[in-house]
Amino acid sequence: MTLPKTPSFRLDGKRALVAGASSGIGLACAVALGEAGAEVTLAARRVDSLNALVDKMKAAGMSASALPLDVSNVAATQAAVASNGPFDILVNSAGLARHSPAADTTEADFDVAADLNVKGAYFLTQAVAKGLLAAGKPGSLINISSQMAHVGGIDRAVYCATKHAVEGFTKSMAIEWGKAGIRINTICPTFILTDLTRPTFEDPEKRAWIEDKIKLGRAGEVEDIMGAVVFLASQASAMVTGTSLLVDGGWTAE
């Protein structure tokens, strides 16, 4: 009897683009992919915010470079991906939140969130996929969505709408490009301690509510996303497409 072979989690020889790489979840994903052997292009609006990180990754033996990229600018995104691709792996962690009661949402708040979280994510994913299709290569594209793509949240009607939309285009693109070997998935984190959530965590009542809702009883850390991203980027997830990987500590189990 031949034993089944465990698929590799290694990413040697793969080129990865990480958008929103200068902080938080994106930064952690860039490091995780680099440690797994990928050649990582870290993208952010301001490249000077990436230089120290790129140097640290290189000093630790990883392959890393910086690319200026404003994900809410579709034409600039398409041009940057076309001239620097093709990328075998995309992690899009660029995102924002403007929280308010649903009755108070302004058109401007809606537009700024939709422009980045939905439109920007859509066209970045499309641009990377088109590079792969033109090169006849397979790939794994990952958008950082949210547990809020699966439930509602107080003051989060717009944020939830944008993240639900990401799930919709992820499934549709996965159907269209599956036969070309392009897999598209989302990672859906719970509350993770980052710049984005710091104001929420600094409120003791809100922090207690979060730690109660998360069934594992603690706030998420960026390290909690690192294994998930390597899994989805690698051959270990070869049969996984069009779905969400919830890293929510059990929030949505209730």
Ligand X SMILES: NC(=O)C1=CN([C@@H]2O[C@H](COP(=O)(O)OP(=O)(O)OC[C@H]3O[C@@H](n4cnc5c(N)ncnc54)[C@H](O)[C@@H]3O)[C@@H](O)[C@H]2O)C=CC1
Binding site for ligand LFPNKLMZ (CB under 6 A): 97, 146-148, 153, 156, 190-191, 196-197, 200
Contact call for residue 20 and ligand X (CB under 6 A): yes
**SS3 of residue 220 by DSSP:** strand
Q: Which of 73, 31, 23, 225 is nearest to 142 (CA)?
A: 225
In the complex, the smallest distance separating the C-beta of residue 105 from ligand LFPNKLMZ, rounded to whole angstroms, is 15
> How many residues touch ligand X (CB under 6 A)?
27
**Given candidates 15, 16, 24, 142, which one binds ligand X under the rule CB under 6 A?**
24
- Region of 17-25, 52-60, 205-213, 226-234 interacting with ligand X (CB under 6 A): 17-25
List the single partner that 42 binds among ligand X, ligand LFPNKLMZ, none, CB under 5 to 8 Å by kind.
Answer: none
Beta strand 39-44 with 63-68 is parallel
The label of the residue with tokens 């992820």 reads: 170
- What separation in angstroms does the CA of 93 have from each of 17, 100, 222? 10, 22, 12
Q: Which does 156 bind (CB under 5 to 8 A by kind): ligand LFPNKLMZ, ligand X, none?
A: ligand LFPNKLMZ
- 26 near ligand X, rule: CB under 6 A: yes
The interface region with ligand X, picked from 98-106, 127-135, 177-185, 190-198 by CB under 6 A, is 190-198
Q: Is 182 helix (H, G, I), strand (E, B) or coil?
A: strand
- Residue 226: how many CA atoms within 13 Å on its side-chain side? 13
Of ligand X, ligand LFPNKLMZ, none, which one does residue 200 interact with (CB within 5 to 8 Å by kind)? ligand LFPNKLMZ
Pick left, alpha or beta for residue 181 (phi over 0 → left; psi -120 to 50 → alpha; otherwise beta). Answer: left
Helices (H) and strands (E) in the chain, counts: 9, 7
**The two structure tokens encoding residue 60:** 């630790």
179/43 Cα distance (integer angstroms): 29
Give min distance, CB of 250 to ligand LFPNKLMZ, in A.
13
Q: Which residues are catalytic?
A: 159
Interacting residues toward ligand X by CB under 6 A? 19-20, 22-26, 44-45, 69-72, 93-96, 116, 144, 146, 189, 191-192, 194-197
